[in-house]
Structure 1
Amino acid sequence: MGQFDEDGIARRIVASIRARIDEGVWQPGERLPSTRSFAAEWGASRTTVTAAYGQLVAEGYITTRPGARAEVAAGLGRDVVPAAPESAPPRQLSAFARRLADLPAPAPARVFRIADFRYGDLAGADFPVLAWRRVMNTVLLRRPDRLAYGDPQGVPALRRALADYLWRARGIRCGPDRIIVVNGSQQALDLAARLLLDPGDRFVIENPGYLLARGAFAAAGGVAVPVPVDAEGLSTDRLPSARLAYVTPSHQFPLGGVLSAARRRALLAWARAGAALIVEDDYDGEYRHDVAPVPALQTADPARVIYVGTVSKTLSPALRLGYLVVPADLAPAFAEARRVTDRHTALIGQEALALMLESGAYERHVRAIRRRNAARRAVLLDALAGLPVTVAGAATGLHLVVWLNGVPAGREAAVIAAAAAAGVGLYPVSALYDPAAPRPETAGLILGYAGLDPAAIRRGVAVLARVLGR
């Protein structure tokens, strides 16, 4: 009999004895069979039974004495341990947990055989496998003398490289001491929510807007104040008093507007007047298809704007690598929050990204993937050209919005269901509006295209055309 079989028999003996004690068959103080007789009963060696008894001694189920048989330990048995209740008692969850439970449940993931226009996905073929493998190999071959925890604020080399990159790509002037490396932009939003809001504090959020940002601030106890958006972004003439504002000024999510110069000034003036902070989510600022990149809002007032960046839309959302640029006086609080919650982002991934940035490989990749996604966008716009739709927000980012002309909002779910039945995943704009605020009267869809090849885009739009034709 092999070691694997002996180990399996020992585990079954342990489970059997536990069950007999828990069910009251053997009572505290009662002697167990000798190892010899138990071995004969189970057809196992005495060595195996002795090992099982040793495990039960370690768990506190039995006690042994030299020259005597093992006994059931005191305090066990059915008469001592009550049976589990039929149903578990109500859990005493924290207020944070109860607020999480009140958030909308995520839609179940589905696989669509023709095309899935879900926003946020990237094409697997676009990932720079060779460049990433090269930097990962370099990091792994360094073999440090000690494997230790790192700086909760982020690997210094990565923060230096990010500071240089942000100046070149987004016009942001900042030192490494103001950069906090995080597990994707969602952790950035969670940290901002918990460090800047107390329960009951109001926060401004775009309507429609990013649901997971709203969820992070609401889970911290914040009270959402939705503000409408239009082609120029957030409507700054309707700003109420609030502790902070969450905005996507370079590419409003989801409608695609760019915050105009006048409204940028108005938003910053509002923040200064009310001693508020602005959280700028630059989630896909690398993608400008028709015009030059718009400067980050943070460049206009570094003391009032917290900048959130990510590589989820350039490399992969699976890497969970993002960063914040915070005012200098807030950096210690953010770094300490990182240390307490999860210490730091995985060091190997941070060091690999630092090497990509330092070598120029990251920016070469961004230029290449920008061209590929511009080509996908062109295919999508061409396919939509003959449909009765109005396209919005196509000049930037990795998605666009289509309003279905002549289709009332009440038919939006039916369109999506019909497309799903035909093998195409479509997603409504209406779900991104505040539940208490007015919604558009026309059905609308948000179409992400970065995860699709041109043929799948054409087939998916053809299905949409057939659905609308009905």
Structure 2
Amino acid sequence: MGQFGEPGAGTSRRIYDMLRAQMADGTLPAGARLPSTRALAADLAVSRTTVTAVYEQLAAEGFVLTSAGRAARVASPPVAPAVTGAPRSSVRAPVLSDFGRRVAGIATPPLPLPAPGGIHFLYGAVAAREFPAQLWRRAWQAELLRQEDSLYYVPPEGDAALRRALQTYLRRARGLVCDAERILIVSGAQQGIDLCARLLLDPGDAFAFEDPGYLIARHSFEAAGGRLVPVPVDDSGLDTRCLPADGARLVYVTPSHQFPLGGVLPVGRRLGLLQWAQAHEAWVIEDDYDGEFRYGQRPIDALQSIDSSGRVIYIGTFSKALSPHLRLGYLVLPDALVNAFRQAKRLSDRHAPVLEQRVLASLIESGSYERHVRRMRREYERRRAALLDAIAASLPADARVAGTAAGLHVVLWLPSLRPDDEPALVAAAHEAGIGVYPVSPLFASARRAASARVAGLMLGYASLTVEEIRQGIATLGRVVEAFES
């Protein structure tokens, strides 16, 4: 057989793979004797102990038969060929549940990830360099020492200290009326949306949804079997006059900063929405994804703060204030839903990560979290101003910007171009090293408001420096100019 190699961590595996391959190709057929451990060790220039270990492994797996005083033989019937790659399924199509088939049928646009060297106006990204690393590290180390021997599961609703801290914070910062027992800590706002879909919708149930709106949320409700009823959006958010007259099981809204167009739902529409929900016994899912970031005035109180009939489910997140990597969010639930959501959370993943919850509780209780939010609000306002100035200087005079009063992104409308132009415009921008993202995929229906019958781009600015914003918009301006000519 010749020199095989020097003994080492991978030697046993190589001998094992060699013998398996010889069994598979017939070099060592069923019943054939294997060389003695002494002979094979000498032939391969390895230790006899190494070969003995390989034979023992083959025998334990049933490929080789051994007995005291007799030579090892290849087992009969012949062994299957050694697997060298991913197994191929003999089933033509996977057998999935109805839910599985709906999920598999969802066409999701690829996650926009920046290429090295480009300037990407990613929406949903935050300022990585502004993460409060030292505060987090100190709180993390302190909580790690406090754990001692308490490494056990926590209740599915989450760590009690974080829920108490959130109760106080949400009342002060967002106007929410709740107690800690109604707060459920989830693994990011998306899990909260998914729980709502699974617990509140049966296949065929109608759900009302902002159009345009948050695509992954819509997919969650559709995966649960819900029947989409798109409700148009204007400059003031969801047009409550267009809510379905025959009702729906739930309605999903982003009232503090409509995603993606940025409208703020006025109080008249808020009251109308709550009256509609009460009349139709529907649930209102309020996604407050970036409500803490409003510029020039105090953040608007949440819709839940004026809900007197217990119809609103409030979804909050730490992704925009801290980092989406944390995967921590929370629900504020009506009393009637608390038990069902707790049990669903327990079955889903038992509970959210405990140490991170306690670190957050510590930061909120100390006031560090709110100071960080205020600092980031000032910083993001500075970046927003740079974006608006750059757009005014570099984009065509008829370009319009929506959603500037709050949040971490804007929508740029280009009246000289049509929605069908968006893919080519986005591709041209990417070719120039600028990442921008089309608005059209967020519409559920072909019917668009007159103001939205032009090409639109989403521009996230939170993760970019002022200089990157200026350079990126200047380059985008040249791309648009070339595209229009």
- The two structures have a TM-score, normalised by structure 2, of 0.91
2:229 aligned with 1:221: no
From 410, 417, 426, the equivalent of 1:416 is 426
2:370 aligned with 1:363: yes
Stretch moving more, 311-320 or 84-93:
84-93
Letter in 1 for 2:288: D
Contact 2:319 2:327 in 1 (8 A): yes
Partner of 1:230: 234
The verdict on how the C-alpha distance between 1:86 and 1:204 changes in structure 2, with shifts beyond 3 A counting, is closer
Stretch moving more, 424-433 or 408-417:
408-417
Partner of 2:207: 203
Contact 1:114 1:459 in 2 (8 A): no
Partner of 2:478: 466
2:125 aligned with 1:113: no
- Alignment RMSD (CA, Å): 2.2
Contact 2:416 2:454 in 1 (8 A): yes
Identity within the alignment, %: 52
- Counterpart CA distance in 2 for 1:383 and 1:288 is 20
Deviation at 1:101, TM superposition (A): 2.3
- Counterpart CA distance in 2 for 1:321 and 1:425 is 27
Contact 1:23 1:78 in 2 (8 A): no
The verdict on how the C-alpha distance between 1:310 and 1:5 changes in structure 2, with shifts beyond 3 A counting, is farther
Correspondences of 1:130-149 after superposition (within 5 Å): 130-149=134-153
Alpha-carbon deviations, 1:141-178, whole Å to 9, x = none?
Answer: 22421422222211111111111111111111212211
Contact 1:112 1:423 in 2 (8 A): no
- Counterpart CA distance in 1 for 2:316 and 2:305 is 14
Contact 1:23 1:77 in 2 (8 A): no
Deviation at 1:85, TM superposition (A): 7.1
The verdict on how the C-alpha distance between 1:73 and 1:253 changes in structure 2, with shifts beyond 3 A counting, is same
From 258, 266, 274, the equivalent of 2:272 is 266
Instruction: Specify the SS of the correspondent of 1:383.
Output: helix
- Counterpart CA distance in 2 for 1:327 and 1:69 is 73
Stretch moving more, 136-145 or 20-29:
20-29
How many residues are treated as equivalent by the alignment? 465
Q: Which runs of 5+ in 1 are unaligned?
A: none
Q: Which runs of 5+ in 2 are unaligned?
A: 1-5
Correspondences of 1:22-421 after superposition (within 5 Å): 22-77=24-79, 89-107=92-110, 109-111=113-115, 113-240=117-244, 241-301=247-307, 303-386=310-393, 387=395, 388=397, 389-421=399-431
Deviation at 1:140, TM superposition (A): 1.6
Deviation at 1:405, TM superposition (A): 2.8
Deviation at 1:338, TM superposition (A): 1.7
Contact 2:197 2:220 in 1 (8 A): yes
Deviation at 1:331, TM superposition (A): 1.6
Partner of 2:3: none
Instruction: Specify the SS of the correspondent of 1:385.
Output: helix
Correspondences of 1:6-17 after superposition (within 5 Å): 6-17=8-19
Deviation at 1:64, TM superposition (A): 2.5
Deviation at 1:27, TM superposition (A): 4.3
Letter in 1 for 2:264: V
Stretch moving more, 55-64 or 197-206:
55-64
Deviation at 1:348, TM superposition (A): 1.4
Alpha-carbon deviations, 1:108-129, whole Å to 9, x = none?
Answer: 5341634211101112111011
Alpha-carbon deviations, 1:248-296, whole Å to 9, x = none?
Answer: 0111000111111111111111111111101100000101102322111
- The two structures have a TM-score, normalised by structure 1, of 0.94
Instruction: Specify the SS of the correspondent of 1:204.
Output: strand
Letter in 1 for 2:52: T
- Counterpart CA distance in 2 for 1:24 and 1:96 is 46
- Counterpart CA distance in 2 for 1:422 and 1:201 is 45
Letter in 2 for 1:131: L
Deviation at 1:32, TM superposition (A): 2.5
